[in-house]
Amino acid sequence: MAASTTMGDYQTQSSWRPRLGSALRTALACTIVGCTTLYGPPQLRKYLTYPSFSYMTTILIVPDAKLGDVLRSCWHVMYASVQVMVPSVLTLWLVGPKNFDTLLAAVAVAVSAFVVALPESTHLMSKRIAFGQLVNVYVGTVVHGAQTGVVMHPLGVAASTALGALASVLALLFPYPRLAYFEVKKSWRMYAENASQRLTRFVEAVSAQDKREALEFISQEQSLSKAAAKLHQSISNNLVGMVWERPQMKFLKPNYMKLGEQLQETEIPLRGMEIALSSCSSFPLNLIDEELRGHLQSSEVQISLRLLQSRYSMPSDATTAPETNREILDNALWIGKPTTTNHDNMAASFFLYCMELLLENQPIARNPGNTLKSNPNQEPSGVQNQAHCNFKRVWKNIMPSLRSLVFALKCSLALGLAVLFGLIYNKENGYWAGLTIAIGFVTGRQATFTVTNARAQGTAMGSVYGVLCLFLFQGIEHFRLLPLIPWIFFTHFLRHSRMYGQAGGISAAIGALLILGRENYGPPSEFAIARMTEACIGLICFVLVEIVFHPMRAVTLARNELSKSMGALRDCIKDINLCVPASAGLREKQRKLKSHLKKLENFLREAETEPNFWFLPFKGASYSKVLGSLSKMADLLLFVACETEFLSQVTQKLGGASEELRQHMNADLELLKEKINSSLKCLEEVTSIKSVAAFETEAQDDYHDSELGKPANPFRILGAGDEEVEIIVSILLQQFEEVADNVHNSDSEEKRKSQMVLCLASLGFCIRSLTSETMEMEKQVRKLVKWESPSRHKKFLNICCKADALDAHT
């Protein structure tokens, strides 16, 4: 198959070829550092007092970086050096190097780390480099005592850091610059080919004559979709580095920075096609006859041609798109067919609607610019938003947020304790307790135990490898750098593994570099044991501080984030309206929902690797299914926003019976929204409840309120067989069919009729899908509650039964 061949080529190319080139540049940067610090001129080497930190700097900067990323990292190195040099020189001058002891060094590191970590505008790379420099400055002062130079000692730390940054730049220039700009163009070209192949698979699937053939095409598309997600991520990651390579782009071609948003305009309709096909129960589809199948293939050729032509110039470049032949819409081959009375026909109509979006290249993910007419005397909203954002940015720099305050306290305590206990255990090697954790801090949460385990194992592997290589190279120490090259290649691939990740790969590389890349540190075996012990001290301090500041398990955070996602989804459902154009508000709330889903995905990924200890095993499958339903509903909401906006505008122009029928449709839609939101409200509460008794009391209070004539229990569960909901959906779809018939019999132009009928059928599919996904989420939440607390699940079912009886009574 052509698709599988292309997919295999992409996986092969994305897995080993770029990583091999990045590993080569990393090895070259480390070789430059090693040759300079071991064999360089003595006049230069006397300023490079901390070659270990030169290696650490290269390992932080070079792997997987483009030239723009390295230039940006060099700026961060310069900024961090200034942050550390000035206060450390003043501190050493005021206190005096001979007066520094273990406790004072720990306090100095803790206070300085807090000051460095507090500004939210400072990049994480700058903070990591500064943390490492602080450890070297103050621990080195304790180690060397009165011999420490007030200016020369911090200057040696800064010079060693600068060597690592310079070596990184030289490595990225050899044998030719690895530019982020070309990586973006390459990824865009591959994405265009990928999108074209996915569209071809979709058209073949919708035209399939049996279900087995359709499922085979859908399976091929899903493989291509995973590759598209990687390409999209690659483009997003390289956009910032591209600006550092060509600063004029930010001003001359600002659309380059919105390339990720523009890719969404292609990706969202493709996801809609996948949703439509995956919901079809049988093939061939009745709506797709031979004539419509031919027009679909013609449209697929046109869209693919546009995508393939765009391979040679990204969407931000000025290119002339080929004109599209609108036979599908103009001929309106589906008018007069039952598009809303059959689920498969609705799914096929939604597929055609997504094809229309691709043909017209409509910005479905962005707010339409001509939805509302602005007041000429009013300042443009974009200017107001820009002024508001500037004010918030200035205020953020002045007043740190709670998140940055917690991060600063966490870094301060962890580094202070690591330096204190590291110096107490071994004064000569007290650096490594602090340095082990200094370069690994992140601003948010991370899988603490998994990362700590990976760092410990990586440190041990690298140290053992270094000791063994020195044993094998006895008598030929001048070639001690040679065994580093294969090890750097190995660790570079190791950092992309699921078992060790970035933390393990970095620790393994540094572990060998500190033994093979330096001299005059004593017997290698003793140093390796001392460093591994110091690393364990630092990691223990890191874990304890992380537990203090983040005591909640990832599973608990995932459950709470799931509850917030349910609430955000309820807010989106409330904004669905056929009478009032509210697409801008719905799109904004949909973005909020997507941000919650991103956090939920991160928590679930962390929970998968989190040790269970004495807790129940993590039920990842059910959480993943709920996340899948929420993601599907979030995608459908974008289509709903586009459809309702179009319908509200067109039906107002038709007037008469269509306007009256639209009012009835909106009334039934409000009733259905109430049912869905009641279910979501219950799911939101049960996933965030802290006490079952509180939930039961609230439900009991609602029961008594209903006896007194007050509104019924709001915690209403849809249920897989809720006949009332099915009746409401059926009535709503019948009204859609009536509107479609009125449009068919109206005097409007054929193109407008076609758009109306297609839009009504697509909206019907989206509403039915939202309802069915809510029911599916309810099933999975019931399983989760039953798994995590059987007694809680029993009470939950009793409450739901009370709610059902309550609704029947009222």
The model's pLDDT over 126-184, given as tens digits with 9 standing for 90+, comes to: 999 999 999 999 999 999 988 888 999 999 999 999 999 999 999 999 888 888 888 88
Distance CA 457, CA 535 (A): 11
447 contacts 610 by C-beta, under 8 angstroms: yes
Neighbours of 425 (CB within 10 A): 15
Count, residues in the chain: 810
pTM over 0.95: no
What's the 3-state SS for 778-797?
HHHHHHHHHHHCHHHHHHHH
> Rounded to 5, what percent of the chain is helix, strand, coil?
75, 0, 25
**Residue from 80, 110, 137, 127 nearest 409 by CA:** 110
- Provide CB contacts within 8 A for 667, sequence distance 6+: none
Torsion of CA 187, 191, 192, 198, to 10 degrees: 160
Q: Give the CA distances from residue 256 to residues 70, 185, 230, in Å, rounded to whole numbers and listed in that order.
A: 20, 11, 19
161 contacts 467 by C-beta, under 8 angstroms: no
Distance CA 451, CA 459 (A): 12
pLDDT at 793: 52
**Which pair of structure tokens corresponds to residue 722?**
């809720």
802 pLDDT higher than 90: no
- Between helix 524-549 and helix 448-472 the angle, nearest 10°, is 170
**Residue from 666, 638, 675 nearest 772 by CA:** 675
pLDDT at 712: 42
199 contacts 270 by C-beta, under 8 angstroms: yes
Residue type, 351: F
pLDDT at 705: 46
The model's pLDDT over 414-439, given as tens digits with 9 standing for 90+, comes to: 999 999 999 999 999 999 999 999 99
Question: Which has more pLDDT, 596 or 257?
Answer: 596
Neighbours of 757 (CB within 10 A): 25
The model's pLDDT over 692-707, given as tens digits with 9 standing for 90+, comes to: 444 555 545 544 444 4
* DSSP labels, 179-196: -HHHHHHHHHHHHHHHHH
Neighbours of 323 (CB within 10 A): 8
Vertex 463 angle, CA 458 and 468, to 5° = 130
The model's pLDDT over 486-510, given as tens digits with 9 standing for 90+, comes to: 999 999 999 988 889 999 999 999 9
* DSSP labels, 264-290: HHHHHHHHHHHHHHHT--SSS-SS--H
Mean pLDDT of the chain, nearest integer: 81
- Provide CB contacts within 8 A for 437, sequence distance 6+: 414, 415, 418, 538, 539, 541, 542
365 contacts 308 by C-beta, under 8 angstroms: no
Residue type, 285: L
The model's pLDDT over 85-101, given as tens digits with 9 standing for 90+, comes to: 999 999 999 998 988 89
Question: Tokens 């940006």 sit at which residue?
Answer: 72
The model's pLDDT over 539-592, given as tens digits with 9 standing for 90+, comes to: 999 999 999 988 888 888 898 999 999 999 999 998 888 766 656 688 889 999
**Which pair of structure tokens corresponds to residue 233?**
């991520």
Distance CA 780, CA 794 (A): 15
Alpha helices in 655-749 (DSSP H): 656-688, 692-707, 723-745
- Provide CB contacts within 8 A for 621, sequence distance 6+: none
pLDDT at 551: 84
Distance CA 414, CA 430 (A): 14
**Which pair of structure tokens corresponds to residue 335?**
């008018």
Distance CA 153, CA 39 (A): 22
Confidence of residue 467 (pLDDT cuts 50, 70, 90): very high
- Between helix 102-117 and helix 124-144 the angle, nearest 10°, is 170
Distance CA 156, CA 565 (A): 51
Alpha helices in 16-147 (DSSP H): 17-39, 42-45, 51-61, 67-95, 102-117, 124-144
pLDDT at 360: 80
